[in-house]
């Protein structure tokens, strides 16, 4: 039985710290959850403790059945032209970069008699979604030319530290801030939101405020793991122990570990390794890639080494573990973000809240 244990006190600590810290820098926070079916408990904590909104990266399977937000959340992925009605129904705002999609979103919003806001994404160097900075004015002009227009141009946004590992600097942050001014001066169109993400921006905020016009920050990983991605650092003011993965031992046997005579690849196509050979104490743990990302887990007690992973098992060498372990015992792990996300979305991993 696999569980993702979420410590709500520690989560609240992180939410409170980030709310205060970002407010001091004039920033509203969009709390990022990659799971559209995310438990309401997490979202409630974020909204109750000062976050401005929630950003979600997937369209829920049944958007009509879950109007659970007091405020419609933000769709932080580019809308697929095949899913526009669901996006307009469920989300108040979406991130966009393609004028043809924006036109269709507008048609959809008109047909549904619904309002919908868009944030124009700008590629400031991380090579993720977005128009190039020099195309921004023309694109905003085109958006405003759409008639009749039900969609509302809410502002601009950019991503850092995601695809190219681009760190925030004066240059890329300056681009997005100056573009907001240019749109207002040149086109006389209000830019309400200037949004940057994700948690990599926290490194910058440890030293100084973000340039002028930036007024929204999107944070995901740091909330749950207390870490700053891209530079792989722990944030000194955040708690790293919000989330723990735990699962039980199904088998403990002494095995003769040696390379087979005829050796191919394992179930997942990786070449098996036999770092410790001879008689070894091996444990089979009750999870695999259906439940989490096993390679992103680190056992909290020492002496446990993950040696093989498949769809439903994770095999560990426990020969060097001094803790007395037996079948049925639970082993706790810390997680990287990939393991956290995959356990959060797996239907087989139960989420347990610790008060
Ligand atoms: C996931 C995501 C974020 C959050 O990034 P973290 O580094 O996890 O804080 C922000 N913006 C967008 C568009 C995202 O997809």
Say if residues 59 and 42 touch (Cβ distance below 8 Å): no
**Could you give the domains of the chain?**
8-234 (3.20.20.10), 243-354 (2.40.30)
What is the rounded distance in angstroms from the CA atom of residue 74 to the CA atom of residue 79?
A: 11
- CA 90, chain centre distance (Å): 19
Closest of 23, 19, 74 to residue 215, by C-alpha: 23
Check: CB of residue 220 under 8 Å from CB of residue 33: yes
From the CA of 77, give the closest atom in ligand 1.
13
Ligand 1, closest atom to CA 337? Answer: 8
Ligand 1 centre and the CA of 196: distance in Å? 9
Q: Give the integer Cα–Cα distance in Å for 32 and 34.
A: 6
Q: Are 236 and 318 in contact (CB under 8 A)?
A: no
Q: How far is the CA of 123 from the centre of ligand 1 (A)?
A: 15
Atom of ligand 1 nearest to the CA of 219: 9
Rg (CA), the chain: 23
What is the whole-number distance in angstroms between the Cα of residue 255 and the centre of ligand 1?
A: 43
Q: What local confidence, expressed as pLDDT, does residue 116 receive?
A: 96
Q: Which ligand 1 atom minimizes the distance to the CA of 200? A: 7
Q: Which atom of ligand 1 is nearest to the CA of 30?
A: 10
Q: What is the pTM of this model?
A: 0.95
Q: How many Å apart are CA 215 and CA 194, to the nearest integer?
A: 6
Q: Return the pLDDT at 214.
A: 98
Nearest protein Cα to ligand 1, atom 3: 198
| CB distance 197 to 161 below 8 Å | no
* Cα 255–chain centre separation: 39
Q: Return d(Cα 306, Cα 165) in angstroms, integer.
A: 28
**Residue among 34, 38, 156, 197 to mutate when testing ligand 1 (max atoms within 8 A of CB):** 197
List pocket residues of ligand 1, CB cut-off 6 Å: 32, 57, 76, 159, 197-199, 218-222, 229
Q: Tokens standing for 17?
A: 């710290």
Of 162, 194, 232, 337, best ligand 1 pocket probe by most atoms within 8 Å of the beta carbon: 162
What pLDDT shows up at residue 39? Answer: 73
Q: Which atom of ligand 1 is nearest the CA belonging to 95?
A: 13
Candidate of 220, 224, 337, 340 to mutate for ligand 1, largest count of ligand atoms within 8 Å of Cβ: 220
Task: Name residue 31's beta-bridge partners.
Answer: 54, 219
Q: Is 169 left (phi over 0), alpha (psi -120 to 50) or beta?
A: beta
What is the distance in A from the centroid of ligand 1 to the CA of 211?
20
- Taking the centre of ligand 1 as the mean of its atom positions, its distance from the CA of residue 143, in whole angstroms, is 25
DSSP string, 264-275: ---TTSPPP--S
8 Å CB contact between 182 and 141 = no
Q: What is the largest CA-CA distance in the chain?
A: 75
Q: Are 230 and 242 in contact (CB under 8 A)?
A: no
Instruction: Find out whether 268 and 287 touch, Cβ atoms under 8 Å.
Output: no
In degrees to the nearest 10, what's the CA dihedral of 138, 144, 150, 154?
70
How many other CB atoms are found less than 10 A from the CB of residue 49? Answer: 19
Between the CA of 306 and the centroid of ligand 1 the distance, in Å, is 29
Residue nearest to atom 5 of ligand 1 (CA): 198
Ligand 1 center from residue 349 Cα (angstroms): 23
User: For residue 162, which atom of ligand 1 is closest to its CA?
Assistant: 7
- Both tokens of residue 293? 């990302």
The pLDDT value given to residue 62: 72
pLDDT in tens, the chain (355 residues): 999 999 999 999 999 999 999 999 999 999 999 887 767 889 999 999 999 999 999 998 775 555 556 688 999 999 999 999 999 999 999 999 999 999 999 999 999 999 999 999 999 999 999 999 999 999 999 999 999 999 999 999 999 999 999 999 999 999 999 999 999 999 999 999 999 999 999 999 999 999 989 999 999 999 999 999 999 999 999 999 999 999 999 999 999 999 999 999 999 999 998 889 999 999 999 999 999 999 999 999 999 999 999 999 999 999 999 999 999 999 999 999 999 999 999 999 999 999 8
Nearest CA to 104 out of 120, 90, 116 is that of 116
* Closest residue by CA, ligand 1 atom 13: 76
Cβ atoms of residues 287 and 4 within 8 Å: no
Pocket test for ligand 1, best of 36, 55, 200, 338 (most atoms within 8 A of CB): 55
């Amino acid at each position: 039985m696999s569980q993702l244990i979420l410590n709500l006190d520690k989560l609240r600590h992180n939410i409170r710290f980030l709310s205060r810290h970002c407010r001091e820098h004039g920033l509203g926070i969009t709390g990022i959850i990659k799971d559209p079916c995310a438990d309401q408990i997490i979202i409630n904590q974020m909204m109750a403790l000062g976050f401005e909104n929630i950003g979600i990266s997937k369209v829920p399977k049944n958007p009509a059945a879950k109007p659970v937000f007091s405020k419609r959340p933000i769709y932080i992925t580019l809308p697929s032209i095949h899913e526009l009605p669901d996006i307009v129904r469920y989300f108040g705002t979406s991130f966009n970069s393609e004028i043809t999609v924006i036109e269709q979103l507008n048609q959809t919003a008109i047909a549904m008699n619904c309002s919908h806001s868009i944030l124009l994404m700008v590629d400031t160097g991380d090579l993720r979604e977005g128009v190039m900075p020099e195309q921004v004015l023309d694109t905003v002009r085109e958006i405003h030319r759409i008639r009749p227009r039900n969609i509302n141009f809410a502002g601009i946004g950019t991503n850092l530290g995601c695809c190219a590992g681009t760190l925030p600097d004066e240059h890329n942050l300056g681009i997005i801030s100056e573009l907001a001014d240019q749109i207002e001066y040149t086109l006389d169109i209000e830019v309400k939101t200037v949004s940057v993400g994700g948690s990599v921006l926290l490194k910058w905020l440890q030293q100084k405020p973000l340039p002028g016009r930036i007024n929204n920050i999107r944070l995901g990983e740091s909330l749950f793991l207390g870490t700053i991605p891209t530079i792989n650092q722990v944030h000194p003011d955040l708690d790293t122990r919000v989330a723990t993965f735990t699962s039980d031992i199904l088998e403990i046997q002494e095995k003769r570990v040696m390379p087979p005579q005829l050796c191919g690849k394992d179930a997942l196509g990786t070449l098996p390794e036999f770092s410790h050979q001879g008689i070894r104490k091996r444990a089979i743990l009750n999870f695999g890639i259906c439940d989490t990302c096993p390679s992103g887990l680190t056992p909290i007690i020492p002496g446990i080494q993950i040696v093989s992973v498949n769809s439903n098992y994770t095999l560990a060498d426990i020969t060097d573990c001094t803790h007395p372990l037996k079948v049925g015992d639970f082993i706790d792990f810390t997680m990287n973000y990939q393991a956290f996300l995959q356990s959060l979305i797996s239907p087989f991993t139960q989420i347990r809240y610790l008060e």
